[in-house]
Structure 1
Amino acid sequence: MDDAEVKFRASKYIQGMEERLQKIGDLGNFNKLVELARQYTEDAEYYLEKGDLVTSLVDVVYAEGLLDSINFLTAKEESQVSKKVFVGGTFDLIHPGHIEFLKEASRYGRVFVSVARDENSEKAKGRRPINDENIRLEVVKGIRYVHDAFLGDSKDFLKSVEKIKPDIVFLGPDQKVNEEDLKRALKERGLDVEVIRMKERINKWNHSSSSQIIREIISRYCDNQGNQKETNKEGKS
């Protein structure tokens, strides 16, 4: 992770902390701890401006710990430091495009991924995924930018969103979802969610989609009738 990304994350972290502090009312005996958390947050912003990223992150994490301790003891206010970001998709044949998408989503908070069921993916793409839903789920769980992943609802996509109650729904550039319709449907279910779409697919690699990978495999290893090609005189593949 380069300094620019660390700075971006620290800035979002501090912003979330400031928003959280603004929402806290009178907590009686815990007010001194709240004030201490506020001071650490201000220090974090100061060190961020000075370019001391390590000290900035240490300060804001300490501030978060103070408020989380109060929250645990009083149950009076909900953590808003790290926003929940919902992502949905098939995630078949993981490639750099998937990683960039999840990396971009993680800039906004903790990423929760709803992995599409096999039957739903087949309906959407016109073919069954290469890897079944349980394999795809385990692979997604192992990606560093993912906070948690689960299998989506097979009947109702919005139930997966309801399960997480995210602050943000993050869409890929190619996902066929109308942002305004989605926001309206979620609002009808009591969820006021921000919808953000990644502007464009990052195409700095040859294989930035599962379909490209499949076509490349067919081109290399199958003839026009779909039969396996010989790759050398011994017939080894």
Structure 2
Amino acid sequence: MTTLCDRVKAYIDNVEQVLQQATAIRELDPRHRYIIELACSYASDAKYYLEKNDCFTSLACIAYAEGLLDSLRYQNIISFNWKPLSELLKRPRVLVAGSFEFLHPGHIYLLKRAWELGEVYVVVSRNRNFTRFKGREPIMDEKERLLIVENVKYVSKAIMGDEEDFLKPIVELKPDIVLLGPDQWIQPDELKSLLEKKGLSNVRVEKLESRIGEWSSSRIIERIKNKYC
């Protein structure tokens, strides 16, 4: 589902592409150069408010930037064409997978980064797989973890993983990008090789190297035990 913020981000991308062309023009009257600088400022403000999730203010800012650029176009000062919104909203499909037990700032950081790359699809690990990899049963059931993840604002869709084949959901969703978390066991080159064998040769695999603080479900459990047990 396309949200207002998605549309605003598309408008910002459109304006930034035009600004790249406009700022490269050298033979401009200082008055016209000033108008382009104003458009740049409004575009910068639009990005700031979008990051704050204030989509309405962001929309107002980017609309001012568009109007300023259109004023120059209608005077034949600069020449450009806006890309259709339908084309701009075709964002890459980004897949993220994990257990998502005790949703914490590290998870939000990962999901936000995925959203910056495109439309986010999340695969939540099954209870059986969780136990096999973690060596313990999950405190939160798979359905509870799925419910929480699918209600995060950055997520377009969340599904359960497969108990036997972790590649199956990836093959079914056919993402453009797979974004791995910093603690995930598989490396990008290894996953890309496995996906190529499944016929997905054009999938880009990235890994989030940095993390926010020392957040992890295991550390949260230890903190609870140390403080309350």
From 117, 130, 139, the counterpart of 1:130:
139
Contact 2:121-2:158 at 8 Å conserved across structures: yes
Instruction: State how 1:153-168 maps to structure 2 within 5 Å.
Output: 153-168=162-177
Shift of 1:51: 3.6
Contact 2:10-2:89 at 8 Å conserved across structures: no
Q: Secondary structure at the match of 1:106?
A: helix
Shift of 1:45: 2.2
Instruction: State how 1:41-56 maps to structure 2 within 5 Å.
Output: 41=14, 45-46=17-18, 50-53=40-43, 54=59, 55=62
Task: Write the distance in 2 (CA, Å) between the matches of 1:90 and 1:57.
Answer: 43
Residue 218 (structure 1) aligns with: 225
Shift of 1:217: 1.0
Shift of 1:64: 2.5
Matched, 1:114 2:123: yes
Q: Structure 1: 5+ residue runs without aligned partners?
A: 1-5, 15-40, 68-78, 223-237
Instruction: State how 1:70-81 maps to structure 2 within 5 Å.
Output: 81=90
Task: Write the distance in 1 (CA, Å) between the matches of 2:165 and 2:91.
Answer: 27
Q: 1:57 to 1:176 in 2, by over 3 A?
A: farther
Matched, 1:169 2:178: yes
Q: Secondary structure at the match of 1:52?
A: helix
**Aligned residues with identical type, % of pairs:** 37
Residue 100 (structure 1) aligns with: 109
Task: Write the distance in 2 (CA, Å) between the matches of 1:175 and 1:57.
Answer: 43
Task: Write the distance in 2 (CA, Å) between the matches of 1:199 and 1:220.
Answer: 30
From 91, 100, 108, the counterpart of 1:82:
91
State the TM-score, normalized to the length of structure 2: 0.67
Residue 85 (structure 2) aligns with: 64
Task: Write the distance in 2 (CA, Å) between the matches of 1:158 and 1:143.
Answer: 24
From 192, 203, 217, the counterpart of 1:193:
203
Aligned residues between the structures: 173
Task: Write the distance in 2 (CA, Å) between the matches of 1:57 and 1:170.
Answer: 35
Q: Structure 2: 5+ residue runs without aligned partners?
A: 21-38, 44-58, 67-80
Deviates most, 134-143 or 100-109: 100-109
Q: 1:111 to 1:12 in 2, by over 3 A?
A: farther
RMSD value, Cα: 3.0
Deviates most, 97-106 or 53-62: 53-62
Task: Write the distance in 2 (CA, Å) between the matches of 1:153 and 1:64.
Answer: 36
Task: Write the distance in 1 (CA, Å) between the matches of 2:89 and 2:135.
Answer: 40
State the TM-score, normalized to the length of structure 1: 0.65
Residue 23 (structure 1) aligns with: none
From 152, 161, 184, the counterpart of 1:152:
161
